[in-house]
Amino acid sequence: RWSVRVDSDVGGYLFLGVATASVNPGAFLGADDHGWGFLSEGALYHGHGKVGAFGRGFGAGDTVEVTLDCERATLSYAVNGE
């Protein structure tokens, strides 16, 4: 589990998430089957497509908590504790 505080809005898209060593580093997180990316607009990406919405998005001043449980094979996100 880790937290990321978004200090400023630099414009464009911000993805937070996890990936394997096989991820394409030249693409956005979630652009292939090797990563999951939570977009600042509130969408979850995997396999080069939007796989769902995750409540609200995040931006400047927010803290995003990312929890990866490898034993249960789950990945979850919380924005400002919600």
pLDDT in tens, 25-59: 999 999 999 999 999 999 999 998 999 887 789 99
Two tokens, residue 20: 């394997």
Q: Is the confidence at residue 11, as pLDDT, over 80?
A: no
- Rounded to 5 degrees, what angle do the CA atoms 41, 76, 73 make? 135
Residue-wise pLDDT for 54-81, tens only, equals 778 999 999 999 999 999 999 999 999 9
Q: Bridge partners of 65?
A: 3, 78
DSSP 20: -
Q: Is residue 12's pLDDT more than 80?
A: no
pTM of the model: 0.85
